[in-house]
Structure 1
Amino acid sequence: MKHHLLYLLDCYENNNENFDKEIKKEIANLTKLETSVNTGVSSLDYIISSKRETFQERNIQFICNHYNGDIIFDKLDSYIIFGNLIDNAIENCSANPSKKIIIDLNQDNEYVYIKIKNTINYPVLKYNPQLISKKGTAEHGIGLSSVKSTLKKYKSEISFSEDKYWFTVLIVIDKYEYIH
C-alpha cells in the first residue's frame, strides 16, 4: 500500500492530468483485496490479508484470535499501529527456523489488551534495549516511534518483553481514560 500511496502522491505533485482516474483505479484495487481472515477488526483483517504472500514466502505461521470488542483507534491509527508492529514481527522472526507470529486481542471492563508475539533467535532487548533500527538509512526505524506517538493519543501503554523464544509487544488501553 505504501507504494500505491507514493505513486498517487507523485501523480498529485506532478499535476498528472489523470490524477482523478488514478485515484479511482487504486481504490478499486484496494476493494478487490480479498480478506482471508476475520479478526473482528476490519483494518487488522486488511493488513493481515495484505501480508499473506509474505507469510507464505517466508514460511511464517500466523495466528490471530477473533475479537468481539471495540478497538478505539480510528482507521488510520489502526493501520499505523498494527501495520508497523506486524512488519517488525515479520522482520524479526524471519531468521528463526520456527517462524510464528501470534496476535491476541482481549478486553475486560477496564482495559483493551493487544499482544503481538513473534519468535526470535537471540535476546533482542539484551542487545538492543532501546529497539533502535539497525537498517542504516534515514527512512527506516521510524515505525516504532510512530506507533508510540500514535498510542499517546489513546492514553495507552506499550511494553516489550522477551523470553528465550518469544518477543512480545503488549499494548494496554484504559477504556475509561480514553473516553474521558
Structure 2
Amino acid sequence: MLGIHRALCIGNMLIFIFCFFILMNKRGYVYKFKINITSVLILLLAIWSVVRGIPFAVVSLQPLINAVLILTLICKCVYNINIKKSIINSLVYSLVYILIECSIYWFLFMTFIYIGDYIYILNLGINFLIIFVGIYFIDKIQKIYNDNKYLVYVSLTIVVNIFILVILNISTSVSNDLYKIVTNNNIEYNNIFYMSSMSGFIEYVFPYILAIINTILIFIFLNSIKSEKEKAKLELVNEKLDMQYKYYLMVKESQEKMRQVYHDMNNHMNNIKSLKNSSEDVNEYINNIEDEVKESKNIYNTGNILLDIILHEKSKICTENNIDFKVGIDFSKCEFIDMIDISSIFSNLIDNAIEACNKINENNIDKYITIKSTFIKGYYVVRCENSKSNELIIKNNKIFTSKKDKFLHGIGLESIKSSIKKYNGELKIKDSESKFIATIHIPVE
C-alpha cells in the first residue's frame, strides 16, 4: 500500500498534466491524437511519470527534466506541433508550476509550527487553485502584460530583489546566531572564519551590488520603453508620409487626365461634328468623354487624407459597378479617431453598401450609395444609405438572414461596432423594402 506522501506526489503529477491540457486547450491548440506505436509508447511513459510523481518543495534537475520530457512528447503526439514550440511550452509551464508549488510549500512550512502530511494536502490544493485560476484568466493576464510589459518587468525586478534582500537579512541573522552559539560554547568548527566572512559580505556588501544591478536593469528597461516609443512614432510618421505621397500621386493623376481632356477638347469637338450624321457614334463618343471626366473628378477633401483615399478608391469601385456614389463628409473635428478605426468604420460601411447594391437584379431599382456626415449637439453623425433588394431580419440592432451566402452586412457592422465602441459611439440600423440606412453617433471630444 502506498504511503500518503507517495500518493500526494502522484496526485501532484496528475494535476500537473491535467492543468497542462487545460492550458493548451485555452490557447487554441486542437487535439490530433492518433492511436499508433508512438502514441502507445508515450502513454506508457506518461503512466511511468505519473507513478514517479513530482516531489514537493524541491526544484531539482531530475524531476524538472522528467516533467519537460513528458510534456514535450505529449505536445508532439497529441497536438502535432513542432518540436521547438513543444519544448518552449513544456519548459515554461514546468518551471512556473514547480516554482509556484515550491513557493507555497515553503511559505506554509515557515507559517505553521507543526509539520505533517496535511501541509502537502494544503499545498496541493492551493497550488491547483492558483494554476487553474491563472489558466482561466490567461487571456486577460496576457492583455495586461502586452499593454504594460515594461511596467511588469520593472515591478517584478523590484519585488524579486526586495524578496532576495529579506531572505538574505533572515539568513544573515541566523548565521550570526549560529556564530554566537559556536563561539560562546567553544565548539570546534573549521569553517567558522569562512562563515563569518561570508555573512559579513552578504550583510554589508551584497545589498549595494544588488542595488547597482537593479539600477542598471531599470535604466535598460526605461531606455527600451523610450526606444519603442520613438520607433512607433517614426512608423506613424512614415505611414502618414506614405499616405500623403499616395494622395499626391492620386491628385496628380487626376489633374493630368483633366489636362488631357481639356487639351483634346478641340479635337473632341471636331470629331463630334464629323460624326453628326451618326447619332449612335456621337452618343458613344460623348459617353467615353464623360467616363474620363468622372474618373478624374472624384477627389475628396474631408479633412483626413486616409479617408480621402478610401472614398476615392470606393468611388472607382462604384463607377465600375454602375452605382451612383454621393459623398458629403466633413471629418475636420475628428482628429481623436485613430487611423485604423477610420479605415474600419468607413471601409466596412461602404463595402457593405456596395455588396448590397451588387445583389440588386431588378432593372427598376436604381443602385445608389449616399454617405453624409454632420456635427449635431456634440456628436459626429455619419449616415450611410444604400439601395437593396434582399430581405433582412433585424433583431436587437443585429442583422440575420436565411440565405446560405450570408449577407456581408452582418460581419461588417460588427467590425464597425467594435471600432466606435472605443469612443463611446453608437450604431443604429434601419431597413425597409428598398433601402438600408446605417447611422453612427460618436461623441466629439
In the superposition, the TM-score normalised over structure 2's length comes to 0.30
2:420 and 2:375 map into 1 onto residues whose CA distance is 17
| Structure 1: runs of 5+ lacking an equivalent | 1-22
Instruction: After TM superposition, give the deviation of residue 40 of structure 1 in Å.
Output: 3.6
2:377 corresponds, among 99, 109, 133, to 109
- Structure 1: distance between partners of 2:398 and 2:386: 18
Counting matched residue pairs gives: 148
Does the residue aligned with 1:121 lie in a helix, a strand or coil? coil
Closer, same or farther: CA 163–41 of 1 in aligned 2, 3 Å: farther
Which stretches in structure 2 are left out of the alignment for 5+ residues? 1-237, 252-297
The structure with the largest strand share of the pair is 1
Could you tell me which residue of structure 1 aligns to residue 421 of structure 2? 152
Mapping of 1:1-180 within 5 angstroms?
A: 27=242, 30-31=246-247, 32-34=249-251, 36-67=299-330, 69-71=332-334, 72-96=336-360, 97-125=365-393, 130-132=398-400, 135=405, 142-175=411-444, 179=445
Contact 1:33 1:50 (C-alpha < 8 Å) held by counterparts:
no
Normalised by the size of structure 1, how large is the TM-score?
Answer: 0.68
Relative contact order (alpha carbons < 8 A, sep ≥ 6): 1 or 2 greater? 1
How far apart are residue 161 of structure 1 and its match?
0.2
CA distance in 2, matches of 1:60, 1:110: 33
CA distance in 1, matches of 2:443, 2:391: 30
DSSP-derived class of the 1:131 partner: strand
- Give the conservation status (yes or no) of the 8 Å contact 2:329–2:371: no
State the 1:69 CA deviation: 4.1
Q: Give the C-alpha shift of residue 104 in structure 1.
A: 1.2
Distance 1:38 1:69, change over 3 A: closer
Greater share of residues in helix: 2
Give 1:76 deviation, angstroms: 1.5
- Identical aligned residues as a percent: 30
Question: What's the CA shift string for 1:6-36, capped at 9, x where partnerless?
Answer: xxxxxxxxxxxxxxxxx99xx4883433462
- 153 and 41 in structure 1: CA distance in 2 versus 1, 3 angstrom threshold: same
Q: Is the 8 A contact 2:388 2:436 kept in 1?
A: yes
Shift, 1:41, TM fit: 3.8
Of the two, which has the highest radius of gyration?
Answer: 2
One-letter amino acid of the structure 1 residue matched with residue 326 of structure 2: I
